[in-house]
Amino acid sequence: MNADRVADIAVVGAGIAGLAHAYMALKKGYRVVLFEREQFAVGASVRNFGLVWPIGQEPGVGLELALRSREHWLEVSKEAGFWLKANGSMHVVYNDDEVAVLQEFMELYKDAAFQCTLLNPKQVVEKSPVVKTENLKAGLWSATEGTVYSREAIRRIPEWLVEKYGLIVKYGHAVVEVSLPHILTARETWQVDKVFICSGADFETLYPEVYDQQPISKCKLQMMKAVPDRPVQIGPSLCAGLTLRHYSAFAKCKSLKQVDLRYDTESMAYKQHGIHVLLAQNHAGELIIGDSHHYSRTVEPFDREDVNEIILDYLNSFANLGNLTITERWHGVYPKLQGNISLVLEPEPGVTIINGLGGAGMTLSFGLAERVISSL
């Protein structure tokens, strides 16, 4: 055993879940080695909107973790020196049944930790001048959301952890076996006390038998980046009525059933392709647009242009963005767990699997990691 290849904790995966657990462990003084099979993270943590989105979480553990994560994002972005905008979010609605959902939400959660205000059309446009005003009924403004440019943040955080805390990063090291006190990559063997496996949508390499026993799948989402033909500032991150039926925060609103039925009547394609539309903007003024949701254990590698067109058509129903030039199209794949917001399992002593955060990895990871590491 090489004397240098010894650490207290090994983290597998350099996406946001792995980085968050490494960060929390380093802050407690542990010597941490981080293994990433690629030369930099290329999974769901960089193929997203860059949204920290507490408004999507149901009050309870989900909302608590999201709000705690937000605090960590603000601190880490400041210290590490990457862009974060605490710009909030806005759900804009154009139908009376959607207004009913927003009103019910405000009443249902009036004592919860959300920081929401129901706005009239004039107030909506004051927050976001790109929102279409024709038939606009109302907007749900939330102050808790923030935006990072995930490609920048996920690259910068490990660099900063190396600089400030002495994180050991082993890129290009696929972990192939855990046999404590040893962890083996395709290149090296390390001696460690504990392992945290944050391998995202890779269910096949480590402990596949554990994943086979869990109600977990993979979700493929299609996304785009666009540049408008004129400079625009969207203000808060934007979404509309379709999003009300996507996030658990609204699931207990009984009035949502009518919205659901109406959208199904208008087009079953929304549900067939799991489409709801979010609009985010990075510090370069570029627009991040998406997304769709297709679930399977093995995802199709082929993206569908008709799905992208549905997304763009719906975006056009609530946002005035001028002519858009699509500069990038991609898909991401994240793990989706049924019935819970995260999967935290110990398949054997000293080994913890952290997974199943779904589309809320950016929103929940810091808060979850804080809880997991604090229990050591």
Tens-place pLDDT, residues 245-275: 999 999 999 999 999 999 999 999 999 999 9
CA distance 19 to 308: 31
Tens-place pLDDT, residues 141-198: 999 999 999 999 999 999 999 999 999 999 999 999 999 999 999 999 999 999 999 9
- For all residues of the chain together, what is the average pLDDT? 97
Closest Cα to residue 173, out of 186, 190, 159, 154?
186
SS3 130: coil
Q: Name 312's Cβ contacts closer than 8 Å, sequence gap at least 6.
A: 224, 289, 324
CATH level 3 topology of 1-87+144-214+339-376: FAD/NAD(P)-binding domain (3.50.50)
Class of domain 89-143+216-337 (CATH, top level): alpha beta
- The domain limits of the chain are 1-87+144-214+339-376, 89-143+216-337
Kindly tell me if the per-residue pLDDT of 1 is higher than 70. Answer: no
Scanning the chain, the segments in alpha helix (DSSP H) are 16-27, 61-80, 96-108, 121-127, 150-165, 208-212, 256-266, 269-272, 305-318, 361-374
Q: Name 10's Cβ contacts closer than 8 Å, sequence gap at least 6.
A: 32, 33, 34, 35, 175, 183, 190, 192, 194, 195, 196
Region 315-344 average pLDDT: 97
CA distance 83 to 281: 12
Work out the percent of the chain whose per-residue pLDDT is above 70: 100
The pLDDT-based confidence of 3 (bands split at 50, 70, 90) is: confident
Which element (helix H / strand E) includes 191? strand 189-191
Tens-place pLDDT, residues 9-56: 999 999 999 999 999 999 999 999 999 999 999 999 999 999 999 999
Region 291-310 average pLDDT: 97
Q: Which two tokens stand for residue 55?
A: 């408004």
Q: Would you say the pTM of this structure is higher than 0.95?
A: yes
The pLDDT-based confidence of 105 (bands split at 50, 70, 90) is: very high
